[in-house]
Amino acid sequence: MSEINWQPTASLEALRRRAALLADIRHFFAARNVLEAEVPLLSRRATSDPHIESIAARCNGADAWLATSPEFGLKRLLAAGFGDCYSLGKAFREGECGGRHNPEFTMLEWYRCGWDDRRLMREVGELLGRVLGIDDVRTLSYRALFQRELQLDPHSAAEEELLACVRRELELSFEPADRDECLDLLMSHRLEPAMGGGITLLYDFPASQAALAKVLDDDTGTPVARRFEAYVGGMELANGYWELTDADEQRRRFGADRHYRRDRGLAERPFEERLIGALAAGMPECAGVALGVDRLLMLAGGYRRIDEVIAFPIERA
């Protein structure tokens, strides 16, 4: 029988760096009176997001799923009056493997009551700058990035124009299915590498990519998703929203996710109607953000692969 490799893939130095980073994150929030909260990792509900797959489990003879993020649990606490809070722990996503992905990973997610996305962006910049020792923090709209690099407006460009841009800029073996896939491909393959060093906070995404964010008109009168993402050296680290608080609109979006999944032959699973109940009861106006801690540690320590900062990735778990 071949020898079983029981050792961690990360060095002991990297694991000590991880412990120090987790302690530093907790100190950051303690100084700001943001409370750490625990929410379930195992749920009777799965994500409806068509771009994220939940990992199935069994519990007491019934179907269950591992949490893809702590979002729904934290929002239910907000609706119950808990106040500013964060979660620092594990999340799980099917099919997440590669140099920057592992199916089990560490996520930091936090919510600020009474804040909008712009104010939360500043706090994200403060946390990243503190951990990474970077003073260069830039904010840039989604539109401005596309106009600067590709000379097109992602909000108003016709689908044919976006397809032509994809064909011109990228070498693909397939045709994108719709305008959002065009935008996502251009972002991941062409624009993220062009962001350069420093911290970039990208805001005002297309309304079609709102997910759980508010949709409001920008200063040109264009409906945009009040959502932002944080990048360092072209690596995405965080995704934040000025959170949707409208229960009816949230129900509509969950329904749209289910139709999208059905039309593409993806698994349909029970969505989190308890979040609808929390919104209907009156979740406060707030902004929230999720941040990948493993990627943050990779950048802080100069590591190239996620298995260099995780003791036991899925191949050795």
Dist CA 123 CA 118 (whole Å): 9
Residue 78 forms part of a structural domain: yes
What is the total count of domains within the chain?
1
CATH number at residue 82: 3.30.930.10
Dist CA 246 CA 238 (whole Å): 24
- Give me the domain span that covers residue 38: 12-134+245-308
β-sheet bridge partners, residue 85:
35, 111
Residue 304 forms part of a structural domain: yes
* Whether residue 1 has pLDDT greater than 70: no
Give the single-character DSSP code of 196: -
Q: Output the pTM of the full model.
A: 0.95
Each residue's pLDDT tens digit, 168-177: 999 988 889 8
Residue range 73-87: mean pLDDT, rounded: 98
Dist CA 272 CA 79 (whole Å): 15
Residue 50 forms part of a structural domain: yes
Residue 40 forms part of a structural domain: yes
Residue 237 forms part of a structural domain: no
What integer best gives the mean pLDDT of the chain? Answer: 94
Residue 145 forms part of a structural domain: no
Q: Are 95 and 75 in contact (CB under 8 A)?
A: no
Each residue's pLDDT tens digit, 220-254: 999 999 999 999 988 999 999 999 999 999 999 99
